[in-house]
Amino acid sequence: MRRRVAAAAKPNPAHIALAKLEQSLGDRLFLCTQNVDDLHEQAESKRIVHMHGELFKSRCDTCSRPPFSDTSTHDPPAEHPRCECGGGIRPHICWFGEVPFELDRIFRALDECTVFMAVGTSGVVEPAASFVAHVAGHARTIYVGEEQPANASAFTECHLGKAGEVLPRLFDV
């Protein structure tokens, strides 16, 4: 169901503004998302870290076969798909209670950043909700989203509004 819904979604102006920002900043932009859809890819961002994984990839729950592209919706409900090794095939996403992906890389980027921006997140889901506190001593911290996040007091700037309207203005793209 999630794959069917995500397959019909299109990038919004915020995704496009972030892709344009990458075009001017190159690898000085570190784009980390909690989203599992591929809208950043569709907007042509090139370097994206999906800390909660990718909905359109699957992996085996048993062997070390790397995650692979998978758009199948198993519709109507089929038997649990199986790997050649006999293991179960599961979505390459981080379920509740599992450790997010690429945390080492993410914390290196947090340690090095000079400007930290959180976009459209509730500020509740850990560990992402604590990223702003991690960088507070060395980076300018900016929040963009429609509602005050739970961790609003940790940011030096809050820009409330639709990300698709605020980001193009902030980035001047």
Tell me how far the alpha carbon of residue 40 is from its chain's centroid. 9
CB of 80 to Zn ion, least distance (A): 13
CB of 153 to Zn ion, least distance (A): 46
158: nearest Cα among 169, 173, 147, 171: 147
CB of 86 to Zn ion, least distance (A): 7
Between the CA of residue 63 and those of 88, 89, 102, what are the distances in Å? 9, 10, 20
Answer yes or no whether residue 63 interacts with Zn ion by CB under 5 A: yes
d(CA 16, CA 25): 14
Count of positions (residues) in the chain? 173
List residues with catalytic annotation: 52
- Candidate list 48, 60, 109, 139; residue touching Zn ion; CB under 5 A: 60
Answer yes or no whether residue 125 interacts with Zn ion by CB under 5 A: no
Answer yes or no whether residue 87 interacts with Zn ion by CB under 5 A: yes
**Binding-residue total with Zn ion (CB under 5 A):** 6
d(CA 49, CA 66): 17
Question: Which residue lies nearer to Zn ion by CB, 60 or 167?
Answer: 60
Which residues contribute to the site for Zn ion (CB under 5 A)?
60, 62-63, 83, 85, 87
